[in-house]
A and B are shown apart, each in its own frame.
Chain A
Amino acid sequence: MDNFADLSGAPRPIKKTLKMRKNIFMQLWRFIALNLKMVAMIFKGDH
């Protein structure tokens, strides 16, 4: 018998979350924010 992991305790994203993950304007903002965060993280450590 297959022993699949129990995922029943995981949070399921609501419709609004899924919509925001595809919203162009929100994602443009997240694109800028994520890039800035990544650059800051890179320069914080050995690089």
Chain B
Amino acid sequence: MARVVILGAGISGHTAALHLRRSLGKGHEVVMVTPNSKWNWIPSNIWVGVGKMSAEQVTFPLAPIYKRKGIEFHQALGTSIHPEGDKDHSRGYVTIKYTSPEKAGQEGKIEYDYLINATGPKLNFAATEGLGPDGHTVSVCTAGHALEAAEKFKEVIAKLKAGEKQRLVIGVGHGTCTCEGAAFEYTFNVEHELVQAGVRDLAEVIYLTNEYELGDFGVGGMSFAQRGFETNSKLWTESLFLERGVKAILQSHVSKVEPGLIHYEQLDGVKRTLTFDFAMLLPPFRGADLKAFNKAGEDISSEIFAPSGFMKVDANYTPKPYEEWRAEDWPTTYQVPAFPNVFAVGIAFAPPHQISKPRTSATGTLIAPSPPRTGMPSGVMGKTAALTIIDQIKRGAKAKVHEASMANMGAACVASAGAGFTNGSAAAMTMYPVVPDYERFPGVGRSSKDTFGEIGLAGHWIKYMLHIMFIYKAKARPLWFLIPE
């Protein structure tokens, strides 16, 4: 009998758990350790953040799903990994701290034969003074945060209706943030709702980003073939900003937020301030607060984790100049080299380098979008790790190791630009591969046939369809496994 422990029930970890349970017989245990009681379809949080959806529409309780599927569920936070075990444990184990109301604060140990670290990001609001719901800005990173954002947005609309001008700033709250796509979506959903409320003329909407140019989205932008011309996501995105009257401030690192005032620095090294009445700024991410120890109880965290807190896997982490970065630097199996029965997937693995070119300001401040690895790639990584584990349990340690590299993986990003069955719109984008491969695709690094973007109502329908499909899949309803990651 083998036991597989998964830390984290986000898109990646939950996908892995469902595939493991589906393919492993009842003689094997699948154990989920996650601090939250609910699963959250995060891409729809932007709709919660403008009041178009309730928190219940984007979340559901995990316990009944895991009970039905036969997955052991611990509502707890993973605190340390002991991959070699110790004098009392012959196998590796994890220590956990319960977060459920009935067991809050209690600690435990769970041994494993295989471990998947899918802990996702720690929302590092502390990196910028005054950032986040405990500071002076709102967020849409969790359903709870998005509800709070919706309340504040409602107050803004009320003030606008009373004739008071309002400045809304939406974007990222640090020079090294990722998920610019989510900030872009929230910007245009807010703008759309202002139009719907009939108060757009009194509102100034500003997108504040660390991207070098619009359309970068943390992936260095995209090139599209359109109507016989090669165009790019920069021109395409700028066109949308122009059409909708949204202003943009680029190349920015937010250093501090005070009530109604954002301090930021741009690549030119000049420090500026920006007043606001409403601000939604996403935080930078860090790895979860996990420690690792060897058999003797010595702290080996620095060997297992990158300084960012993300777990090092089978990637090439050798520091080298941007020009020398290669597609093959990116991991394929997500195994930790020293411990092949330990995997890190989704946001939890340490990327070998950025995808978008990193830059520093004239004063030396790093302004570099971090690589996005959410959504579709996260699900694929979770499934890949699960398939490797399934084969190794069934066929022995020499069984096939499954591979999926972000340098050979496509991603669809459907960025909502306003919700509504007949008046909504979205920017539907796909790119293949996510990490450019300049050897396979000279020039732009991606397939021009499989990388495209289109704005329209159809995009909104696709985004809504994905919302329905992925919640159906996550609830493990009949034939869930037929829905691609």
CB-contacts of B343-385 with A (<8 A): 376, 380, 384
The answer to whether A37 and B430 touch (CB under 8 A), given A11-B235, A12-B242, is yes
Partner-binding segment picked from B4-12, B127-135, B278-286, B450-458 = B450-458
In the complex the two chains form, what is the Cα distance from A2 to B247 in whole Å? 10
CB-contacts of A18-47 with B (<8 A): 18, 20-24, 26-28, 30-31, 34-35, 37-47
| Cβ-defined contact, B248 with A7, below 8 A | yes
Residue of A nearest to B423 (CB): A22
Partner-binding segment picked from B76-84, B190-198, B289-297, B402-410 = B402-410
Residue of A nearest to B246 (CB): A7
The answer to whether A10 and B409 touch (CB under 8 A), given A34-B458, A45-B433, is no
CB-contacts of B423-462 with A (<8 A): 423, 425, 428, 430, 432-433, 447, 450, 452, 454-459, 461-462
Query: Smallest distance from the beta carbon of B178 to chain A beta carbons, Å?
Result: 20
Residues of B within 8 A of A22 (CB): 422-423, 425, 456-457
The secondary structure that dominates the A interface is: helix
In the complex the two chains form, what is the Cα distance from A1 to B455 in whole Å? 33
Interface residues on B, range: 35 or more
Residue of B nearest to A35 (CB): B462
In the complex the two chains form, what is the Cα distance from A41 to B459 in whole Å? 16
Whether B15 is near chain A, meaning CB under 8 Å from some CB there, is no
| Cβ-defined contact, A4 with B249, below 8 A | yes
Residues of A within 8 A of B213 (CB): 5
Which of B242, B376, B404 has the most chain A CB atoms closer than 10 A to its own CB?
Answer: B242
The answer to whether A45 and B410 touch (CB under 8 A), given A5-B248, A11-B239, is yes
| Cβ-defined contact, A34 with B462, below 8 A | yes
Residues of A within 8 A of B462 (CB): 31, 34-35, 38
Whether B412 is near chain A, meaning CB under 8 Å from some CB there, is yes
In the complex the two chains form, what is the Cα distance from A24 to B457 in whole Å? 8
B residues contacting A by CB (< 8 A) are: 206, 213-214, 235, 238-239, 241-243, 247-250, 266, 270, 272, 274, 376, 380, 384, 403-405, 408-410, 412, 422-423, 425, 428, 430, 432-433, 447, 450, 452, 454-459, 461-462, 484-485
Q: Kindly list 19 other residue pairs between chains A and B, CB separation below 8 angstroms, not including A13-B239, A27-B457.
A: A2-B249, A4-B206, A4-B247, A5-B247, A7-B238, A7-B241, A21-B456, A27-B461, A30-B458, A34-B454, A34-B458, A37-B452, A38-B428, A42-B376, A44-B432, A44-B447, A44-B450, A46-B405, A46-B408
In the assembled complex, 5 residue pairs joining A and B whose CB atoms fall closer than 8 Å, in A order, are A2-B249, A9-B238, A34-B454, A37-B452, A45-B432
